[in-house]
Structure 1
Amino acid sequence: MVPRLVFVHGIGPLRDTERELASWIDSLARGMRAAGHSAVAERLAGADAGICSFVNYADLYAPPEAQGSGGARAEGEASELLAELLVELVAGHTSAHPTSEGPHDRERQHRAGILAHARAEAGTRGQAQGSLAVLRRALNVTTTLMSLKPWGGVAHRVTPKLMVNGLTQVSRYLARGEQDASGLTLDSRVRNRVHEALGDGPAVVVAHSLGTVVALEALHERQGTVPLLVTLGSPISMRTVVRPRLLPQPPRTPERVERWLNFWDKDDIIAVRPLLERDVLPNTSGVLPRSSRIDSDGIWVHSAEKYLAQAAVAGPVAEALTVAERRSAS
């Protein structure tokens, strides 16, 4: 069977499936050409485009009360997780940029002061509770974080409100609530979209942001071979909120994954603990994620397209598709 290439998106607003698929393929093809795989890039952008699927689950993130029973309870649990997520997000950036002891390093001291302010805003001690209070605090913390370099000039594209909405999607997924009329929780419905795209044959999976959590859990439920799993800007190793809530526990590489490459950018606001191999156990074949840093241009590097256009990301995808195709033909 010809291997499929399955894309799994992350946080964000409603999406047009065809438009997103075309954009991801275009970015990946540019990265493949930069990596010296022009032939694969041209096939992917042309005749082989049919092997690609874009898993679109954004429409499932309607307000909790519109998703069936338990909406109020699910909203409360998601709000608690959002508060914890904010604390860890700020703590991660604080540890990545420690206060300088040099008397003349004003920029780093200024950054440390802003992060300390954000940490105080994010903390739950003495703070009002409840969903609305948490959302207001989340907006304040995100506004503070996004005033820092390199994110300060990105407000025209990604506002603090959009960021908070995205982080709320992470907390709602991990809350494992919001059952529909048939009893399926939100996270189950999201993973079902991945299973529909994967099919039964071999599949190369490229997942971004929250999609890395979704893909990891979905692949544990899969029997088909995954020659390559690529994760981009992943929050999997956030040890307070994400890692302890992953299913199954403890987090490990899915059995059918033959290779796992993880990529992160130092300026990615979400990837605060980027070295996944420190927090994920191997599968029985000994496969662990292998994390590599990349450096993209621009002030907002969390977008999937930024990652996909990198030769370091696209090259291994081209190689995996070629090898899997040869294997299926033999």
Structure 2
Amino acid sequence: MKPRLVFVHGIGAPRDAAADLDEWLRAVAAGARAAGHSAQVSALTAGWAADARFAYYGDLFRTAEAQGAGAPAAGPDDSPDDALLAQLLREAVEERLAGPAPLTPAEDAALRAARTRLAPPAGAQGAGAAARRVVNAVTSLLAVPGLRLVGGRLSARATLGMLGQVARYLNRAESDGTTTLDQRIRARVADCLDPHGPNVVVAHSLGTVVALETLHEQAADEHPVDVPLFVTLGSPLGIRTAVGPRVRPHLGTPDNVGRWLNFWDRDDLVAARPRLEDFVKPNAAAVAPVSHRVDSDGLWVHPAATYLAQPAVAGPLVEALTTLAER
């Protein structure tokens, strides 16, 4: 049976889902060739090896913004999103400063400046304090290409709006009267899963949180979907208090996942604590994440296509798809 390949994106501006699906598949193809799997590339890009889907939910953030739930801004009052985003960035910066990966003098200076700007001031903070701290910190981080959190030359405000999507998801708010924003996002991912055949789920950045929670929900269903392989790229799941403890129902491997591969780049600030197996609980079959470091050595290390073009990522992904297709 042809497996279903489901890509789950992370933060970012509104996108063309069809164009992104093509970009991600081409990145996998490039990585597969480098990994010695040239024979499988045409089957992947032509759709013979897998039924590829792109679980797009970016428009849900845009719709909520139009209704008044926009990106963090230094307005008259701090919102829960502002506070959570400040906490998330502070933890990520602290982990990067304390981590084993070497820092250039410019990176070290930018991270220390961001840490100072994110620290809550003594005494009363005043209205909009968290939002202002985040804007100032992101400005520091954008000064060094290796620390930029998303691809492209974006302003601090644009980057901030994208990062704010993580807080908006985790704060479980923005109800449309029936469901909250995070529920609507997970429904988009669930709609892409094949209830009858094997699924290989590849998730990036915020998408790793979304996909993990979706798979937990699917595992609890009367007829759980089959996920022989779950791949996470540049995941923030390891951020100690701002992300990990907020995952529902818990930070553990879903029971319907047969294998979990986690990839992180040494320069990816989002993957603050990259060895997920150190704190993610295994499932009933003792499946836990297995983390691997990749080194892209580029200006933009966080984008999904950068990860997918790595032979260490594309190789096992294509191997799994080939094995499933031959069953």
TM-score (norm 1): 0.87
Q: Does 1:189 align with 2:189?
A: no
Where does 1:10-21 land on structure 2 (aligned, <5 Å)?
A: 10-21=10-21
Q: Per the alignment, in what secondary structure is the counterpart of residue 48 of structure 1?
A: coil
Distance 1:268 1:116 in 2: 17
The alpha-carbon deviation at position 67 of structure 1 amounts to 5.0
**One-letter amino acid of the structure 2 residue matched with residue 237 of structure 1:** G
Contact 1:90/1:118, CA 8 A, preserved across alignment = yes
**One-letter amino acid of the structure 1 residue matched with residue 125 of structure 2:** A
Kindly tell me: are residues 53 and 111 of structure 1, through their superposed partners in 2, closer, same or farther at Cα, counting changes over 3 Å?
closer
Where does 1:193-272 land on structure 2 (aligned, <5 Å)?
A: 193-200=188-195, 201-222=197-218, 223-249=224-250, 251-272=251-272
Could you tell me which residue of structure 1 aligns to residue 125 of structure 2? 128
Q: Per the alignment, in what secondary structure is the counterpart of residue 272 of structure 1?
A: coil
Distance 2:271 2:289 in 1: 15
Distance 1:302 1:6 in 2: 19
Kindly tell me: are residues 205 and 98 of structure 1, through their superposed partners in 2, closer, same or farther at Cα, counting changes over 3 Å?
closer
Q: Per the alignment, in what secondary structure is the counterpart of residue 263 of structure 1?
A: strand
Per-residue CA deviation, residues 194-238 of structure 1 (Å, 9 max, x unaligned), is 001012021000100000000000011111111111100000010
Contact 2:172/2:180, CA 8 A, preserved across alignment = yes
Distance 1:225 1:199 in 2: 8
Distance 2:299 2:101 in 1: 21
**One-letter amino acid of the structure 2 residue matched with residue 258 of structure 1:** G
Distance 2:92 2:259 in 1: 28
Could you tell me which residue of structure 2 aligns to residue 54 of structure 1? 54
Could you tell me which residue of structure 2 aligns to residue 138 of structure 1? 134
Q: Per the alignment, in what secondary structure is the counterpart of residue 118 of structure 1?
A: helix
Per-residue CA deviation, residues 109-131 of structure 1 (Å, 9 max, x unaligned), is x654443322121012337355x
**One-letter amino acid of the structure 2 residue matched with residue 89 of structure 1:** A
Q: Per the alignment, in what secondary structure is the counterpart of residue 191 of structure 1?
A: helix
Per-residue CA deviation, residues 261-299 of structure 1 (Å, 9 max, x unaligned), is 000001112111111111100000000100000011321
Contact 2:101/2:267, CA 8 A, preserved across alignment = no
Distance 1:99 1:33 in 2: 30
Per-residue CA deviation, residues 103-148 of structure 1 (Å, 9 max, x unaligned), is xxxx64x654443322121012337355x44333212101112323
**One-letter amino acid of the structure 2 residue matched with residue 245 of structure 1:** R
Could you tell me which residue of structure 1 aligns to residue 307 of structure 2? 307
Could you tell me which residue of structure 1 aligns to residue 316 of structure 2? 316
Contact 1:236/1:276, CA 8 A, preserved across alignment = yes
Distance 1:193 1:282 in 2: 26
Could you tell me which residue of structure 2 aligns to residue 43 of structure 1? 43
Distance 2:234 2:100 in 1: 18
Q: Which moved more, 1:252-261 or 1:140-149?
A: 140-149
CA RMSD in angstroms comes to 2.7
Distance 1:187 1:155 in 2: 24
Contact 2:33/2:41, CA 8 A, preserved across alignment = yes
The alpha-carbon deviation at position 78 of structure 1 amounts to 1.5
Distance 2:84 2:242 in 1: 7
Q: Per the alignment, in what secondary structure is the counterpart of residue 262 of structure 2?
A: strand
Contact 2:49/2:322, CA 8 A, preserved across alignment = no
TM-score (norm 2): 0.88
Distance 1:192 1:149 in 2: 35
Contact 1:6/1:204, CA 8 A, preserved across alignment = yes
Contact 1:89/1:270, CA 8 A, preserved across alignment = yes
Per-residue CA deviation, residues 77-106 of structure 1 (Å, 9 max, x unaligned), is 212211211211221222126999xxxxxx
Q: Which moved more, 1:41-50 or 1:25-34?
A: 41-50
Distance 2:151 2:43 in 1: 37
Q: Per the alignment, in what secondary structure is the counterpart of residue 153 of structure 2?
A: coil
Distance 1:78 1:67 in 2: 16
**One-letter amino acid of the structure 2 residue matched with residue 42 of structure 1:** S
User: Alignment identity in percent?
Assistant: 48
The alpha-carbon deviation at position 38 of structure 1 amounts to 1.8
Distance 2:65 2:307 in 1: 35
Per-residue CA deviation, residues 18-60 of structure 1 (Å, 9 max, x unaligned), is 1111100111111111112222211111142871000110001
Distance 1:48 1:257 in 2: 23
* Equivalences, count: 314
Contact 2:35/2:311, CA 8 A, preserved across alignment = yes
Kindly tell me: are residues 160 and 310 of structure 1, through their superposed partners in 2, closer, same or farther at Cα, counting changes over 3 Å?
same
1:84 aligns with one of 68, 83, 87: 87
**One-letter amino acid of the structure 1 residue matched with residue 32 of structure 2:** M
Contact 2:6/2:52, CA 8 A, preserved across alignment = yes
Contact 2:151/2:302, CA 8 A, preserved across alignment = no
